[in-house]
Amino acid sequence: MKALVKVAPGPGLELVDVPDPKPGPGDILLRVLRTGICGTDLHIDAWDDWAAKTIKAPLTLGHEFVGEVVEIGAAVTKVRVGDLVSGEGHLVCGTCRNCRAGRRHLCANTIGLGVHTNGAFAEYAVLPESNAWVHNHQIDLDVAAIFDPFGNAVHTALSFPVLNEDVLITGAGPIGLMAAAVAKHAGARHVVITDISEARLELARKLGVNVALDVSATPVSAVYGELNMTEGFDVGMEMSGQPSALREMIGNMTHGGRIAMLGLPAKEIAIDWSAVVLKMLTIKGIYGREMFETWYAMSVLLQAGLDLSPVITHRFHHTEHKAAFDTARGGKCGKVIMDWES
């Protein structure tokens, strides 16, 4: 089969022939239909310092995907051949304290599909049954392919109640955009999203945010009068990993405000901890999705009318992977999808 592989240490990926994967007793075999490109994939492609320390080549990339089940292992009991499945890309140990307590998203031994083990940028992929999410309702394949990052957005957006609250989101990348859509759908009074990319801010406007703000030109505090706000934001969602974004968010939170932090900083961030203390702020780190409560919430949100179509801006056949990666890296886009059907 064809797979998109980091064949050796260094920049670049190659579409090459690799052996067809075989499912173990507890695994399912998927015919991959669509995949999404993640920032992690861009790091691996570019072979930056993180990738050089983390990735062992050869490796098939890809952890955002949807496929059709074509074979199941002997011990598989719930997933059936023909099911449409998205995959949870965090593979947990199942035996640590958190796993045994049902808190699998907190497993300290988590490994990543397409990062530490072969992923789904391929014509076929193997997935443990325990990591499969079967779509029992009609769903667009492109949307099903991005359930992994959609889950990050839902986990972040629903970490704190947003009904009737004023919400600040820093970073209008695809996950920030989806979080904004979720917050609006969940009843936030005002949703303000910030970035320095006009293209992504325009996508945010299509999703119905109250204000999409270019913070390279205008401070967050400038929106208070427009939105009839007096005491700052109730809920913050930090999606960018940028030091200035977190500092500005803390400076614009109301007393008792709550911040969900998904953006992963490249280095340490110095912040005004006295403001955190004196404002009695809560800062919660978010990583991945709650298995599988977040997945249930995702499906229900879509069934209830949440529209993610504006977030998906580009589609390529997998043979056009270089153009797909270049588009994703360029930043003037939302989610980029690769089609793996012939």
Q: Identify whether 209 is part of a domain.
A: yes
**Active-site annotation holder among 43, 116, 135, 185:** 43
Same domain, yes or no: 213 and 183 = yes
Could you identify the residue written with the tokens 């359930």?
A: 147
DSSP string, 237-265: EE-S--HHHHHHHHHTEEEEEEEEE----
The annotation places the binding site for Zn(2+) at 38, 63-64, 93, 96, 99, 107
Runs of H (alpha helix) within the chain: 39-46, 49-54, 97-100, 141-145, 147-157, 174-185, 198-206, 224-227, 243-251, 273-278, 293-303, 321-330
Which tens digit of pLDDT belongs to each residue from 230-289? 999 999 999 999 999 999 999 999 999 999 999 999 889 999 999 999 999 999 999 999
| 271 and 312 within one domain | no
| CA distance from start to end of the chain | 12
Is residue 174 located within the same domain as residue 273? yes
Q: What are phi and psi of 104, to 5 degrees?
A: -65, -25
Weakly modelled stretches of the chain, pLDDT under 50: none
Q: Is the CB of residue 28 less than 8 Å from the CB of residue 76?
A: yes
Same domain, 134 and 203: no
Residues 109 and 97: beta-carbon distance below 8 Å: no
Let me know if residue 296 belongs to a domain: no
Q: Rounded to 10 degrees, what is the CA torsion of 8, 13, 16, 18? A: 60
Is the residue at 292 inside a domain?
A: no
pTM: 0.95
Are both 127 and 158 inside the same structural domain?
Answer: no
In a domain, 290, yes or no: no
Of 226, 176, 169, 180, which is closest to residue 207 (Cα–Cα)?
180
Q: Would 293 be classed as within a structural domain?
A: no
Residue 297 lies in a domain: no
Encoded tokens for 133: 């999410």
Instruction: Determine the Cα–Cα distance for residues 65 and 45; give it in Å rounded to an integer.
Output: 18
Are 137 and 201 within one domain? no
Q: Which of 78, 83, 114, 134 is CA-nearest to residue 292?
A: 134
Same domain for 172 and 101, yes or no, is: no
Whether 122 and 236 share a structural domain: no
Statement to judge: residues 79 and 123 lie in one domain: yes
Whether the Cβ atoms of residue 212 and residue 205 lie closer than 8 Å to each other? yes
Q: Indicate the SS3 state at residue 334.
A: coil
Instruction: Say whether both 96 and 204 belong to one domain.
Output: no
Q: Determine the angle formed by the axes of helices 147-157 and 174-185, rounding to 10 degrees.
A: 50
Count of domains in the chain?
2
**Which DSSP helix (H) or strand (E) runs through 312?**
strand 312-317
Quote the pLDDT of residue 334. Answer: 96
H/E element, 103: none
Q: How far apart are CA 130 and CA 225, in angstroms?
A: 49
- Mark whether 282 is an active-site residue: no
Catalytic residue, candidates 35, 40, 60, 294: 40
**Same domain assignment for residues 37 and 115:** yes
CB within 8 Å of 237: residues ≥ 6 apart: 156, 157, 167, 168, 169, 170, 176, 179, 183, 259, 260, 262
Same domain, 8 and 128: yes
300 occurs within a structural domain: no
Coil vs helix vs strand at 141:
helix
Question: How many other C-beta atoms are found inside a 10 Å radius of the C-beta of residue 201?
Answer: 20
- For residue 23, is the peptide bond before it cis, meaning its omega torsion is within 30 degrees of 0? no
The answer to the question of residue 301 being in a domain is no
CATH number at residue 90: 3.90.180.10
Spatial separation of the C-alpha atoms in residues 192 and 220, rounded to whole Å: 9
Give per-residue pLDDT as tens, 203-241: 999 999 999 999 999 999 999 999 999 999 999 999 999
Determine the pLDDT at residue 342: 80
- Whether residue 54 lies in the annotated active site: no
Asked if 51 and 44 count as a contact pair (C-beta separation under 8 A), the reply is yes
User: Residue 256's domain spans which residues?
Assistant: 153-285
The closest of 182, 206, 183, 205 to 194, measured between CA atoms, is 205
Q: Is 330 helix (H, G, I), strand (E, B) or coil?
A: helix
Positions at the binding site for NAD(+): 175, 195, 200, 262-264, 286-287
Report the CATH number at residue 163. Answer: 3.40.50.720
Whole-number pLDDT of residue 266? 84
Residue positions in the annotated binding site?
A: 38, 63-64, 93, 96, 99, 107, 175, 195, 200, 262-264, 286-287
In this prediction, residue 183 carries a pLDDT of 98
